[in-house]
Amino acid sequence: MNDVTAFRTPGSSGGLLDVWRRRYLLRLLIHKELRQRYHGSVLGMGWSYMKPAVQFVVFYFVIGVFLKMNRNTENYGIYLFSGIVVMNFFSEAFSNATRSITDNHALVKKIYLPRELFPVASVIVSFVHFVPQLIVLLVGCFYSGWHPSLLQLLAGVAGFAVLATFALGLGLIFGALNVLYRDFENLVDLILVVATWASPVLYTWKLVTEAIGTGWLWSLYQLNPLTSVVEIFHWTFWFPTTNGSFATVPHLGMYAVLAAVVSLVILGLGQLTFRRLDGRFAQEL
């Protein structure tokens, strides 16, 4: 026998690289997840349109009409929705990735797999749900005379990449911790409640600077990668539908780069935490 494969320690893995190596399995896991989610439902994927649509209508009337944001912000509907899609993707990806290891306990306990597969699958499933929302947003944009530049389109794509990286990084950290203490999934729900309000989704950045000035608190506010991604989406989807009178948030480019750096650091930390705790998953579940 000319078998020259070397000895290796079972269960040692290349982390996220192994997910790429096992991408066929990843595809099947995503398929399974989607099947399970919509199993036995009449509307099926239609539900992924329903939730943001209802959310949009509620926010539009409460904040746009009752609280009169419509008056100050041109095309407030587009402004609102381009932020909502960011938050919806982030919430779904982060919270499902956090639960992904505990939800797949049967597999984790019995068979060795690169466990990063589960959070990655959760993030991709969230992307599948993001697409219909994006289509709805684009229809709204075209209806309002959207004329984006190539740079704005590229910025939107890059912004999404930063968002997905950030969600996956956090998902890896909290997914691993959640195996040890189930408190973390509740903590994540709490973080997500705050997250929607801690970025300029429902309001504009000018209201924030009016309230807290442009000091260190404002810098802190902008260091949140979600804030940068929301502003990038505004710049890509909302700004090209307006007459351009509303000033884009200052230093958006710089904060976008910072957001990318923060997200990559979080992803690195996530991978490290995950590797560190991975060996304990089977016995803690």
- The number of C-alpha atoms within 13 Å of 272 and in the hemisphere containing its C-beta is 6
Lookup result for tokens 């690289």? 17
Ranges within 11-30 binding another protein (CB under 8 A) = 11-12, 22, 24-25, 28-29
Residue 72 touching another protein (CB under 8 A): no
Ranges within 111-170 binding another protein (CB under 8 A) = 111-113
Sign of the CA dihedral with 92 first, then 128, 147, and 241 last:
negative
Contact characters 79-108, another protein, x per CB under 8 A:
---------------------------xxx
Concatenating the DSSP letter of every residue in 199-265 gives TTTSS-HHHHHHHHTTSHHHHHHHHSHHHHHHHHHIIIIIGGGS-S-SPPPTTHHHHHHHHHHHHHH
Calpha distance 29→207 (Å, rounded): 44
Please report how close the Cβ of residue 164 comes to another protein at its closest, in angstroms. Answer: 23
Q: Which is nearer to another protein, 35 or 147 (CB)?
A: 35
Give the interface segment with another protein, choosing from 7-15, 55-63, 158-166, 168-176 (CB under 8 A). 7-15
Concatenating the DSSP letter of every residue in 40-89 gives T-SSGGGHHHHHHHHHHHHHIIIIIIIS-HHHHSTTHHHHHHHHHHHHHH
Q: Which of 7, 147, 150, 215 touches another protein by CB under 8 A?
A: 7
Q: Which is nearer to another protein, 188 or 202 (CB)?
A: 188
The dihedral region occupied by 181, where left means phi > 0, alpha psi between -120 and 50, and beta the remainder, is beta
Q: Which of 36, 42, 216, 247 touches another protein by CB under 8 A?
A: 36
For the chain, how big is the Rg over CA atoms in Å? 21
Ranges within 39-68 binding another protein (CB under 8 A) = 39
Calpha distance 163→86 (Å, rounded): 8
Please report how close the Cβ of residue 130 comes to another protein at its closest, in angstroms. Answer: 23
Please report how close the Cβ of residue 89 comes to another protein at its closest, in angstroms. Answer: 25
Q: Which of 110, 147, 150, 210 touches another protein by CB under 8 A?
A: 110
Please report how close the Cβ of residue 183 comes to another protein at its closest, in angstroms. Answer: 8
Q: Which is nearer to another protein, 96 or 227 (CB)?
A: 96
Q: Which of 63, 187, 192, 282 touches another protein by CB under 8 A?
A: 282
Q: How many residues bind another protein (CB under 8 A)?
A: 32
Q: Cα 35–182–104 angle (5° rounding)? A: 30
Q: Which of 109, 149, 186, 265 touches another protein by CB under 8 A?
A: 109
Query: Footprint of another protein on this chain (CB under 8 A)?
Result: 1, 3, 5-12, 22, 24-25, 28-29, 31-32, 35-36, 39, 106-113, 181, 279, 282-283
